Structure 1
Amino acid sequence: MKQYRESFFITHSAWGVVKQQIAENKLFFSLSISFGELPLKSIQMASNDTIEVKQIQRCKIINSEEIILIDANLNVNDAVIKISLLKPIFLKENLKLQVELI
């Protein structure tokens, strides 16, 4: 079963798109910056009964020239999934953070 959600977001320093997809027993999450710069230490999202998340398979930043792997920890508590980056990052225009959870 595939599920897909996409939302636009605005903060005081950036705007862009958040996407969440469940496919093949994996949860894919991405955060793309269209304008500005977004400081990021962690991500929280609602858990979904469709899939039980146990670990981060990949966490990376993607731009047009390269892919940078990022270290992160996963904490699943009640109905909340929290991804904590080991080093805070600044996502800038045309960058995308992509996380694959299994």
Structure 2
Amino acid sequence: MPGPAADLARRLARDAEAVCRHYLSNGRRQGRYWVVGDVANSPGRSLYVRLHGSDSGKGAAGKWTDYVAALVMLRPRAGRPYCRGSAAFAQHNLSPSGRVA
């Protein structure tokens, strides 16, 4: 049974491009991916985030090329060491419609 973190990851993945534009603003859209240097928002082309895809599995939206969930992307960016802090941070930044505020 999926928990709150899985639900939050799905909500973030639904609007992966807006999440990337907000948190990885030094990157850019390249086809169906957002390309940026790393999760610290460094310029470059090392990190690819899938913008569209299924809700789960290998080709899911919001996953990195090494298949880390979009929620994990927020942890180093938010400066919070634990998932609970990352989840609270992400929920705070999602509007009631499920879009990035």
TM-score bucket of the superposed structures, by smaller chain: under 0.3
Structure with the larger strand share = 1
Q: Give TM-score, length-normalised by structure 2.
A: 0.27
Structure with the greater relative contact order (CA < 8 A, sep ≥ 6): 1 or 2?
Answer: 1
- Name whichever structure is richer in helix by fraction: 2
Structure with bigger gyration radius: 1
